[in-house]
Amino acid sequence: MLKGKHIILGITGSIAAYKAATLTRLLVKEGATVKVVMTPLAKEFITPLTMATLSKSPIMVDFYNPENGDWNSHVDLGLWADLYLVAPASANTIGKMANGIADNLLLTTYLSAKCTVMVAPAMDLDMYRHPATQRNLEILRSFGNIIIEPESGELASGLIGKGRMEEPEQIVEFLKRHFERQEDFKGKKVLITAGPTYEKIDPVRFIGNYSSGKMGIALAEELAGRGAEVLLVCGPVNQKTSHPAIHWVDVESASQMCEVAVKEFPGCDLAILSAAVADFTPKEKANCKIKREKEDLLLELMPTQDIAAELGQMKKDSQLLVGFALETNDEESNACSKMQRKNLDMIVLNSLNDKGAGFGGDTNKVTIMHREGEKNVYELKTKVEVAKDIADQIAARYLMGS
């Protein structure tokens, strides 16, 4: 999977820089073309000559090479690469990446990169677990960067703990899986619903919820990045996406969302219903703004169309239907019941009892349940990472060999 791939390897000032030599040799052996960018301090740990010999390419440290008069263009590098891997990534460089500081070639290349960026931290355990470092790593994750988690073990300080850069052999396997995933949804047409629905009371008021649409948009971007053609049917949200493989359809009400979903689902291989659709809508909608009176205002509500149930009835054996369940009590039994009643193949459960999960935020904590009874429980993660977990579950269970 690495043959012919263009990989930038960024090396920072860390004792783990010695691993970059093995990492480069393995990448080249797999058929990748590797260009190495080093920070000035990285040269104190491993020589440019070593890296140039192993990568079979001149090493870039400075913007300008006085020996031959060449400029090292961070813009050209960013366009050239299929992947930018920073390994090892020191706490200092991680902090600069998270805050947009661009005071060397490695960092300006990072800000110019159009490709996936992976970061392999390497530092002492106290530096790694410091709140500032953890915050910076979360910021990088929110940008869509992939963190290759460090290992626990003996560190250069002599202490034992988490902070060792992952071994080169494991990083290469990680990269292989990444490029395999880039094409596992190729040729698949996917319908995704996202965001809230607004059910009008009058021209200025509505019944709605706190959904931001972030989870559905993250799913759309993840699947589009893995080769799918995505139709994203989205309620009123502030966030947008510009991915060329995502066709965005704006809707407002549950009935509008249902109309589009029912129309488009027959032509799709997969539907993921992540929208927070209102369960009820006003029976009567006023044409003019309702004025405040002394008496109580009574609203009569009626059920909205059940999109999951509608698609579940339509679903063919060749199609996959994934739902979401946000629960406050009896979470797993309620989610399982919903999956069975609505003919879903898989359901993603999150609970408002879990801190950091639910509407509005950038994180979620989910349990993925399958119709056959299998259950996968995940820790609190960013919604970008949760989208990867959901896509991985779909690909592993339903797409392999299809």
Instruction: List Cβ neighbours of 277 (8 Å cut-off, separation of 6 or more).
Output: 193, 196, 197, 254, 257, 304, 307
Confirm or deny that 291 is annotated as ligand binding.
no
Closest to 40 measured CA to CA, from 13, 15, 75, 71: 13
Q: Which of 92, 136, 209, 353 is catalytic?
A: 209
All residues at 6 or more sequence positions from 116 whose CB lies less than 8 Å from its CB, including other chains: 82, 83, 84, 144, 146, 178
With a CB cutoff of 8 Å and minimum separation 6, the contacts of 194 are: 213, 215, 216, 217, 219, 220, 232, 233, 234, 235, 237, 274, 275
Residue 153, strand partner residues: 161
* 152: Cβ contacts below 8 Å, ≥ 6 apart: 160, 161, 162, 163, 164
Helical axes 48-55 vs 18-29, angle rounded to 10°: 10
Query: What's the N-to-C CA distance of the chain in angstroms?
Result: 20
Residue 389 counted as an annotated binding residue: no
Contacts 24+ apart (CB under 8 A), 150-157: 150/120, 150/121, 150/122, 150/123, 155/124, 155/125, 156/15, 156/124, 157/124
| Nearest partner of 269 among 164, 192, 356, 364, judged by Cα | 192
Determine if residue 296 is labeled as part of a ligand binding site.
no
DSSP string, 199-214: EEEETTEEE-----SH
Residue 65 annotated as catalytic: no
The strand pair at 346-351 and 366-370 is best described as antiparallel
Burial of 313 (0-12, 13-18, 19+ CB in 10 A): exposed
Q: Which amino acid is at 314?
A: M
**168, 26 Cβ separation under 8 angstroms:** yes
Give the 3-state secondary structure of residue 107: helix
Asked if 328 contacts 351 with a C-beta cutoff of 8 angstroms, the reply is yes
Q: Has 188 been labeled as part of a binding site? A: no
338 in a labelled binding site: yes
Residues in the annotated binding site for CTP: 279, 289, 324, 338, 342
Task: Give the catalytic positions in this structure.
Answer: 209
Residues in the annotated binding site: 279, 289, 324, 338, 342
